Amino acid sequence: MTMMRSSSSSSSTLSLLKSCKTLRNLEQVHALIIRKGSEQDHVLVTEFISICNSISPKHVTYASTVFDRVLQPNIYLWNNLLKCHCTHSSMATSINFFKRMKQSCYVAADKYTFPSLVKACSRVLALREGQVVHGLIVKYGTEFDVFVGSSLVDLYGKCGEIVNARKVFDEMLVRNEVTWTSMIVGYLKIGDHLEAKKLFDEMPQRNVFSWNVMINGFVKSGDLVSARVLFDEMPDKSMVTFDTLIDGYAKSGDMVSARSLFDQSPEKDIVSWSALISGYAQNGQPKEAVKVFNDMLSRNVKPDEYVMVSLMSASAQAGDWELAKWVDYYLSECSIDLGQNHIAAARVDMHAKCGNLERAATLFEKMPTRDLISYCSMIQGLSVHGHAVRAVALFQRMLAEGLTPDYAAFTIILSACSHADLVDEGCHFFDCMINEYSLAPLTDHYACIVSLLGRAGRLKEAYDILKELPMELHAGAWGSLLWACRVHGDVSLGKEVAGRLFKIEPQNAANYVLLSDIYAASNQWSDVNDVRNQMNEKGIRKLRGCSWL
């Protein structure tokens, strides 16, 4: 009778444990376990640790304290807490707990011990530690277990050790879908799509996950044709599969295929909506992005932060002030956390590019942390809308705050200086880029500095920069200098620059027209005729709307 009452009590406590949803519930049941003297009940403590782990990963320490009160924990208890550590704690903590388990005289590691430990190594790509665990797996004789073997294949595949992964795979007596898929993932990681596809075709059984892995592999490699062939062959298409391919088409710029597949999907989740909106925004079709967003709202689909970032990007590209204000209002009314840095940066970028600089500045100053991207968005907005002096001041403030500018940041500030004829400032930043930040200027940077010097009439300096470069700069920089020669009437240099451009762009009529204009401005009409004759001989036609004078 006593045993029956004890069993009944344990069963009711177990039921209470399984119903726990919060830490407070768990603490109440824990108090009940202590009051009933059930702290040594392995079944209850095992379930307690599992529930503790499921409620929140932060409670691993709490679970550990309960475990530590068990005098002789069995292997199930050890494995359960080890799994918690491997999922939520650091790899070092997990390994130390495993060492403690090894030192226990009551239990020995079994086939349920090692998969969690190997996964902990996989998560941080700890190959050396994983190899040590592999040695212990062999020592304990658990290497032929399908779950242990699958975890090892996953480890070696993720670490790029494809030969070792394949060796483990080939030596396994039993393989399941996870094993096959892990091996395929390993091949995809190193870019061996042929071997991955070969293995995929050999799979005795395929599940939705294995199909998705293979399709995703082709999408990431840019092989959308092979991805679509697999997609069409897939017997049961999941929403994840649709999302993967829609996103792939959108990122490649094929919005027709992306939209067609989107319309075919049986149920559209937030990921597919986001992929389509983002695709239209990134491919220069902001109005289409807005249409899709409105369609989404009409179907009572609640946008998430990623959708809103995509919509803000579309608004910024369109430069639509009214749309930007509406998006900003919508954001203020929804439940999205506006304090997140990527949301705040997108809002600044949207308002800056739409010309609402005061609103952009207000949001910029309210940001909890301002990174390089948010600074560049604000600087570019100021520059584009004619506030180059403020842009320069903000760039200097960014440097003073210790942020390190990258290539894009220097392109933005040099462009701002060029458009506003801030010669001294532009030359200073160009020198800083090379001497202080050890960045070798790219063609865009040279184009900016050449344009800046040319507009200021410092044509020889600009020409010296171009002709001393080790690489053939793109035509834009030479074209900018040729335009400056026309503005400042430098016939001799204009002839030299035009000669360079004729080699780079032999069929570009604009270069011939500019040279002709330079000759015409100095009354060298015979040279104007020579240029015209060269164009006729080469079959180059003057662009409509260009004047010879």
Dihedral, CA of residue 250, residue 251, residue 252 and residue 253, to nearest 10:
50
Fold classification of 442-549 (topology level): 1.25.40
Q: How far apart are CA 14 and CA 18, in angstroms?
A: 6
Q: Same CATH fold, 442-549 and 268-362?
A: yes
- Write out the H or E segment, with its range, that includes residue 103: helix 91-103
Q: How far apart are CA 141 and CA 163, in angstroms?
A: 22
Q: Answer whether 183's CB lies under 8 Å from 199's CB.
A: yes
At 327 the pLDDT is: 87
Give the count of beta carbons closer than 10 Å to the beta carbon of residue 148.
25
Q: How far apart are CA 374 and CA 357, in angstroms?
A: 13
| DSSP characters over 1-22 | -HHHHHHHHHHHHHHHHHT--S
Q: What contacts 18, CB < 8 A, 6 or more positions away?
A: 47, 51
Q: Answer whether 240's CB lies under 8 Å from 212's CB.
A: yes
At 94 the pLDDT is: 93
Tokens of 102: 């090894």
Tokens of 339: 């304090």
At 6 the pLDDT is: 45
CATH class, range 268-362? mainly alpha
How many Å is the Cα radius of gyration of the chain? 33
Q: What is the pLDDT of residues 292-343, one digit of tens each?
A: 998 998 998 888 888 888 888 888 888 888 888 888 888 888 888 888 888 8
Q: Which residue ranges make up each domain of the chain?
A: 1-108, 268-362, 442-549
Angle (CA) 354-355-359 rounded to 5° is 95
At 7 the pLDDT is: 47
Q: Answer whether 115's CB lies under 8 Å from 149's CB.
A: no
Q: Answer whether 349's CB lies under 8 Å from 381's CB.
A: yes
Q: What is the pLDDT of residues 151-207, one digit of tens each?
A: 999 999 999 999 999 999 999 999 999 999 999 999 999 999 999 999 999 999 999
Helix, strand or coil for residue 192? Answer: coil
Tokens of 511: 């270069």
Give every residue of the chain whose pLDDT is below 50, as ranges.
1-7, 546-549
Among left, alpha and beta (phi > 0; psi -120 to 50; other), residue 192 is beta
| DSSP characters over 425-481 | HHHHHHHHHHHTS-----HHHHHHHHHHHHHTT-HHHHHHHHHT-SS---HHHHHHH
Long-range contacts of 55-64 (CB under 8 A, 24+ apart): 55/20, 55/21, 55/22, 55/23, 55/26, 56/23, 57/87, 57/88, 59/23, 59/26, 60/84, 60/85, 60/88, 60/89, 62/23, 62/26
At 2 the pLDDT is: 38
Among the listed residues 81, 112, 110, 108, the one whose alpha carbon sits nearest the alpha carbon of residue 96: 81
